[in-house]
Structure 1
Amino acid sequence: MSRASAWAPLCLLLAAAVPLSRQQQPPERPVFSCGGILSGESGFIGSEGFPGVYPPNSKCTWKITVPEGKVVVLNFRFIDLESDNLCRYDFVDVYNGHANGQRIGRFCGTFRPGALVSSGNKMMVQMISDANTAGNGFMAMFSAAEPNERGDQYCGGRLERSSGSFKTPNWPDRDYPAGVTCVWHIVAPKNQLIEIKFEKFDVERDNYCRYDYVAVFNGGEVNDARRIGKFCGDSPPAPVVSESNELLVQFFSDLSLTADGFIGHYKFRPRKLPATTEPPVTTTVPVTAGLKPTVALCQQKCRRSGTLESNYCSSNFVLAGTVITTVPRGGSLHATVSIINIYKEGTLAVQQAGKNMSAKVIVVCKQCPLLRRGLNYIIMGQVGEDGRGRIMPNSFILMFKTKNQKLLNALKNKQC
């Protein structure tokens, strides 16, 4: 965008931003400083010196607060920052809350994103520039809105009703727009869980869901260690149930291809008491859905018994996969396994994102057997009521090698 061509729309924008009394004094212009604390029903923020070229080596932070019970809606009126596909040099970050909030989006170049909505009454905007600057910066307007009455052009927010829906902007009339980030924070009463189901789903397909995607997290923040799944493509993901009374759903679209989008539904449901499942044939220790291992159980020798063949039929699921996350919780270890091949699925909950599949497993006794992140394993085990695999001290776990595939494929066709 040339500097000359930028001035005409800038004049109109600035006129709209300035009270009438100031418009009557042409020599005066609003002065945008580096950051600030803003509150009220609406207002404007802009890069330092806007509409002049923003300074180099700067970091400016704006903290916005609207009245309690409302959410912040941010609309970029103008943006012209150094362009880079990954926004590595000069960029504007937008966050939920004033500190330690999840990032709603990062923007640069001249592409204006859609409306950005916080989940509460606070939002933080931060602009960073490096030594080489290029552009007139940005100007944006913030306003307060009711959490549940924002219209289809917005997305995201806090959902606290016992059931409801969430959908991409423009659904179902048009494709979702490029360059948006939506975050729905669903909060149930303390003694309840949250279940979400996608009725329709069409998000730009990619084997690794790198471009447009839906990510679902346990808790109230974006945290890869607590991510339940990351989804894209045109097949609705399997229903998801939270581990606690909070769930976060994040939708992201990049600046290129878009698709129909999705509509999802959520509902609160009672937290079930731990229940006992059938024990595997190879052990006398019952597999429970509870996550706290008994002392006696974890004092057993960490040693698998039998062979691939002898354990196949007695196992509820059999897979080969790569351990991609490990999170200690109490005396147990919660792991996410990216599936290389699944030979026996049973009742295991398998998440699919494009062509990638993953499953959650719990090593009931944290160090026994030992699963290390980044390594490939053959995993055999039982499944709890929550759909997650349970790995006991004597479960059959083996480092996966290519030579194992022939035997596993033969077992896959075996009648148990």
Structure 2
Amino acid sequence: MSPSFTLVYILACVAAVFGAPGTKQAFPEDPEPINTVTECGGLIDTSSAALDFLVSGSIPAGTRCLWTVQAPYDHQRFILTSSGLGNTSSIYLTAYSSNAEPGIQQRVTTIGQNHTIVSNVVLVTLIVSENQIPIQQGFSLHFFSSGDAATTTLAGHASITAANGSFTYPAGGGQYPNDDHRLFTFARSGTPAPTIRFTRVDLESDSECSYDFIRTYVWFDNLYLQVARFCGSTIPPSFTIPDGLALLAFGSDSSVTGSGFTFEWE
């Protein structure tokens, strides 16, 4: 075996073991959750957390909570460590893709069972039944992020729980930026079902709304179903949130912007 061939062979073995220069190396999980979350819904922007919701308390009937997990890596492992929920109440994990679309979903039911979602953004939805006999208690759900560094992140997030109000984006006027991705989540417990209406839309326009867009979803039959996708100056029909949960997703591409949008709810 010639010296030059031997050197090439050794370098090939090193690359096979350690990875070629410039390749992404997987990041491991945190050994323990580094954050604790106790609120009903909101953005969880971290590499691991313990979602401890009313662990030692009772949950009101009809409660709806929606958490958005945004992690730095592309694999999320969830494990239920304790639960006082009844059989008619549920926790759902839903992957949220870079094109503003809910994807693969898993229902969490068993303590100690691992659930892995391949997405750095995951929606965690809590549905507590209207008729809860006996009284249900809370739960503790842990998640850990690992894998390769995420390539898509949300530039902004708002969790809307107020009974009524309005929202304008961008809040200070002007044009929204290129390559902008934002998510607005609605979670309303009890009745009546809220209604959302857009009063102003000014986005880049194309026939498929594939460049800049707004996509709306409501929770129906245990899934997030799309209500509308629109762009340009289109004002879509108002819509009701039948089960108290909804998503409003906004995205823009790398060129041409507008002055954004305004919506209200009641």
**TM-score of the two chains, using structure 2 as the length reference:** 0.48
Q: Work out which of the two has the higher radius of gyration on C-alpha atoms and give 1 or 2.
A: 1
Larger relative contact order (CA 8 Å, sep ≥ 6): 2
Higher strand share: 2
TM-score, normalised relative to structure 1: 0.33
